[in-house]
Amino acid sequence: MSLFHICTKGFTDRLLFKDKTDFIQGVNKTALAFNGLCRLAAVCLMSNHVHFIAEGNETDAEKAVVRFKKAYSMWFSSRYGDSKIFRRWPHAVLKCSDIDYMKEAICYVYKNPAGHSETNNPYYYPWSSINIHFHDRTFDQVGKYIDFKGHPAEISGLKQWQKKEILRTKDEVPESWHFTSDGMVTFDSFVDKTIAEKLFRTERSFNYFIQKRDKDSMNRNIIHLDMEEEQLCCDVTAMKRAFEISSRKFGTADLQTLEANQKQEIMLELVIRYGTPDSIARRILCIR
């Protein structure tokens, strides 16, 4: 089994999660989408993009993120009347090739809210699973009752059919899943905290990596899919990486022979994995 960093492109012209209700639906759709396919190690939902760290194989990770996007797109469409959001929401599934990369990817996901000035402290951000690690938390701490069809229902006594209605799903809901009083599946129900804990080993080590400033982090250009980053990246370096990606994915280093969708796939990996500015990626791939 491997760890994969799954991330989506951030929109500049709209929000994916406009309010608390949207975020709750996003968390619930995440739990359902990955259930039975991959074990989630970290989750963070931002206002216009998402980040997941998942353990499994690449095929299942791809299936899970597609399932999430479809499910949330249906919610978004039913609430806001925009049915085209799914078509404009590209994503990437990147394998974490070594332990250092795994640690760095998890920390990047959890530090994303601070990087986007959503909060000064990642631990205060409510839409990530950061607080489940190295703590014994139970669903009893997040409320005892939930409003179910206008009547209070005891969360610990919810029946399977009630859980399905709360989650708007026909799929079987694991008995181990618990809910907040707002109807959200708790992060510790579907995110396996032991994956990160085995990597970092101690809470002190985990906190150290979370609190490290970006300029002190390991020398690896990572992710930055969600925004245009001003990074030092010359055309020669980007071209070399494009040749490598093309050879690996399509069996040729001749970029001119590639189809438009293949060039787009290379561009996405350049931007996500290596932090290549969009303008440079487009230029070397002759994408207008």
β-pairing, 151-154 vs 145-148, is antiparallel
Who has greater pLDDT, 231 or 79? 79
Q: pLDDT tier at 223 (50, 70, 90 boundaries)?
A: very low
Query: Bridge partners of 91?
Result: 8
* CA angle, 103 then 106 then 109, to 5°: 145
What is the structure's pLDDT at 288?
65
Task: Look at residues 177, 40, 57 and name the one whose alpha carbon lies nearest to residue 105.
Answer: 40
Average pLDDT across the chain, whole number: 84
What is the structure's pLDDT at 230?
31
For the full predicted model, state whether its pTM sits above 0.85. no
What is the structure's pLDDT at 216?
41
* Rounded distance between C-alpha atoms, residue 246 and residue 152, angstroms: 56
What is the structure's pLDDT at 222?
47
Mean pLDDT, residues 120-124 taken together = 91
Phi, then psi, of 177 in degrees rounded to 5: -80, 135
pLDDT, tens only, 54-84: 999 999 999 999 999 999 999 999 988 876 6
Whole-Å CA distances, 195 to 66, 106, 112, 220, 251: 23, 10, 19, 22, 34
What is the structure's pLDDT at 110?
96
Percent of the chain with pLDDT over 90: 53
Residue 235 predicted with pLDDT over 70: no
What is the structure's pLDDT at 86?
66
Structure tokens at 59: 């095929």
Structure tokens at 36: 């039975």
Q: What superfamily would CATH give domain 2-137+186-216?
A: Transposase IS200-like (3.30.70.1290)
* Rounded distance between C-alpha atoms, residue 100 and residue 236, angstroms: 27
* Domain residue ranges in the chain: 2-137+186-216, 235-285
Mean pLDDT, residues 240-268 taken together = 87
282 burial (CB, 10 Å; 0-12 / 13-18 / 19+) is middle
Residue 16 predicted with pLDDT over 90: no
pLDDT, tens only, 186-209: 999 999 999 999 999 999 999 999
Residue 45 predicted with pLDDT over 90: yes
